[in-house]
Amino acid sequence: MAKLIGGLGTSHIPAIGGAIHRGDQQTPYWKPFFDAFPPIHAWLCEKKPDVIVIFYNDHGLNFFLDKMPTFAVGTATQYVNSDEGWGIPSLEPLRGEVDLSWHIINTLIDKEFDVVTCQEMLVDHACSLPLKLFYPEGNYPVTVVPVCINTVQFPLPKASRCYALGKAVGQAIQSWGSDKKVAVLASGGLSHQLDGERAGFINKQFDLQFLQSLESNPEWATQFSVHELVEKTGTQGVELLMWLAMRGALTTAGSGVKKVSGSYHIPISNTATAVLALEPNN
């Protein structure tokens, strides 16, 4: 059977792509963010995952306000990135892991999650940028399964529902008839608001408590309603739902987790940024 080796989390701010393109990683503004990645690069080199399941949110590229699924899973052989813009070269397509995609979908349906199946799917920076951060040399040595969670248009899924979704995905990975090693990745957040009267809002205290809870008490954030999470983290801060799904998946891989490496930094482009790698206690 497949082995779930760990979980990753990172912010996916589009400005990060511009910084990479310009080579600004070691400038004073960007250095605290990019300095968090080398320990995780070393861990990935050691563990060598074959597949990464990415929990992410689409920003109007593949889904728009007229058609917004709560949960969607890609089953394509490749996923073309189409939203770089700003003169940044488009990143190479991501290679799909079709067999695992279908196994996850069948498992989710069996567990009463009504998901949208996407045999063709465009992906935006929320999928491509994390891979660029974790594999900066390019030519990603992994295949992917994108799992899209709606954080754009209400009604949004509850935190507890996303955590349960992650558990179901973790169970699907563990029961997949393959000898491949799989990691799960959360793309997004943490607290930030890009619009309205609270534009620029960041809640450091909540962010740090949330990050700690992912290690010691992963169900902590499920006590909050979506509206409470928006109040505490900002309208875009609800992207932490992806982190909850990632952590939910890891509950199936061992008794608790240990932190490989992590970092929290504010602000980057009016956003609280976090980087995290966890591995299960086996």
- Supply 275's token pair: 């980087």
Is residue 125 among the annotated active site residues?
Answer: yes
DSSP alpha helix (H) spans, 154-203: 159-175
Contact 175, 1 (CB under 8 A): yes
Is residue 265 among the annotated active site residues?
Answer: no
DSSP alpha helix (H) spans, the chain: 14-22, 31-34, 38-47, 98-110, 125-134, 159-175, 204-216, 226-233, 240-250
Residues 73 and 79: their CA atoms lie apart, in Å, by 12
DSSP-assigned letter for residue 58: -
Q: What is the dihedral of CA 147, 151, 232, 235, to 10 degrees?
A: 140
Query: 239 Cβ partners below 8 Å, 6+ apart?
Result: 57, 151, 187, 188, 189, 190
Residue (of 7, 1, 9, 51) closest to 167 by Cα position:
7
Residue (of 11, 63, 26, 4) closest to 243 by Cα position:
11
- Supply 188's token pair: 């997004």
Residues 12, 21, 103, 192: which is the catalytic one?
Answer: 192
User: What's phi and psi for 203, nearest 5 deg?
Assistant: -120, 85
Residues 12, 21, 103, 125: which is the catalytic one?
Answer: 125
Active-site positions read 125, 192
